[in-house]
Structure 1
């Protein structure tokens, strides 16, 4: 079986159009386990992530999500449409956490194609995306730009 049979048919370099905006199909609920585990593993001492008692009396009224998880989830939700045919992640820039994420929130992601350009190799091109994350109330909680080296259908797709 060809590798191209395992990936999407409409997310090669040639398929992306500058200005297009995609709403990604899946959402993901932020589980307390994901938040607390990574906070503990990274030795993050900000109690807002893991001290329920303290946060009940705060302005937020509940624990806050760790920003690294928000970033990872939003990029992950976008990956099927934007990086399934990627050869390499080239960079992330202008990462902004725009609002609080709490345990139990559900995140959704949109992506905009900002730029396309040729790469230094004939089998791929470079695409720059802007990703937006929103919660279940459609409140903007994340944005960031990501640059990806993506396969060209002409070299990797079915012929």
Structure 2
């Protein structure tokens, strides 16, 4: 049996490549409720069906930071599993609403990479885009990740 590969090293990343992540996640009502409780986000647009029936989208919206967290998690086996540190997140964009029972998928493009002054570590600069089950873009963000060279 071959062990799973959690993450990649600097030399594995090729600028210009796009990785289609194998993991995906359907967001259930329990996910959204627990996340709302844990983060103290009690806005009725995330927790109150009656309120949402009368609001813009007509249904409960999933908390945006839950979507962001799930998408980051989806990328871990390919992007940051061997990371020394996630250095920076930037340009987080919520591109479309996410609803209960939506399924989230993601892909990541390698934008750039460079070796640090340490020479045994490198930084990869990537952009991740998340999609729902209808292939609609729902979220995008960029980040810099410090990874070992080998």
**Do Structure 1 and Structure 2 share a fold, with TM-score over 0.5?**
yes
Residue in 2 that maps onto 1:135: 132
How far apart are the structure 2 equivalents of 1:95 and 1:9?
Answer: 25
Q: Structure 2 regions of 5+ residues with no counterpart?
A: none
Q: Is the 8 A contact 1:111 1:129 kept in 2?
A: yes
Residues 94-134 of structure 1: CA deviation (Å, up to 9, x unaligned): 10111100111100000000110111222210001100000
Q: Structure 2 matches for 1:53-64, cutoff 5 A? A: 53-64=50-61
2:49 match: 52
1:117-157, CA deviations, whole angstroms, 9 ceiling, x for partnerless residues? 1112222100011000000000100000011011122xxxx
Judge conservation of contact 2:109–2:128 (CA < 8 Å) in 1: yes
Number of equivalenced pairs: 149
Runs (5+) with no aligned partner, structure 1: 154-159
Q: Which structure has more helix as a fraction of its residues?
A: 1
Q: In the alignment, which residue of structure 2 is the partner of 1:36?
A: 33
- Does the residue aligned with 1:86 lie in a helix, a strand or coil? coil
1:7-156 matches, cutoff 5 A: 8=5, 11-153=8-150
DSSP 3-state at the match of 2:84: strand
Write the distance in 1 (CA, Å) between the matches of 2:68 and 2:106: 11
Runs of 4+ in 1 over 6 A off after TM superposition: none
- The TM-score, its normalising length taken from structure 2, stands at 0.92
Measure how far apart 1:51 and its partner are: 0.1
CA distance 1:7–1:123, shift in 2 (3 Å): farther
The TM-score normalised by the length of structure 1 is: 0.87
CA RMSD of the aligned region, Å? Answer: 1.8
Structure 2 distance, partners of 1:40, 1:27, is 23
